[in-house]
Amino acid sequence: MNYELWSLSSRNIVADFETEAAALRAVAAIVRQQGHAAALDLLLGSEDPAGRSRRIAQGQDLVDRALAASPSSPVSRLAV
């Protein structure tokens, strides 16, 4: 399975990952490096070997999942 991180505003793939955990770590890093607002523009999806795509999370839901998966991250949840 392939995990893809998309920019909602540009509708382009930002990066792809072999695991969901790796994608979530990347989103947490974006929050740390570029700020909360930058990560709100992202969508995480997956594509199975048959080419079927599905949305996993986007926007605030994705940020929440990423931060929860990275408890050692120095970033705390931000209210929106």
Q: Tell me, what's the pLDDT at 80?
A: 36
Contacts 24+ apart (CB under 8 A), 52-56: 56/3, 56/20
Domain ranges of the chain: 2-69
Give phi and psi for 52, each to the nearest 5.
-80, 130
Q: Where is 16: in which H helix or E strand?
A: strand 12-17
The residue whose two tokens read 């408890």 is: 71
Per DSSP, helices labelled H in 1-80 are 20-34, 36-39, 59-69
Question: Quick count: other Cβ atoms within 10 Å of Cβ 73?
Answer: 15
Q: Tell me, what's the pLDDT at 75?
A: 46
Taking only the tens of pLDDT, the chain with its 80 residues reads 899 999 999 999 999 999 999 999 999 999 999 998 999 999 999 998 899 999 999 999 999 999 999 865 444 444 33
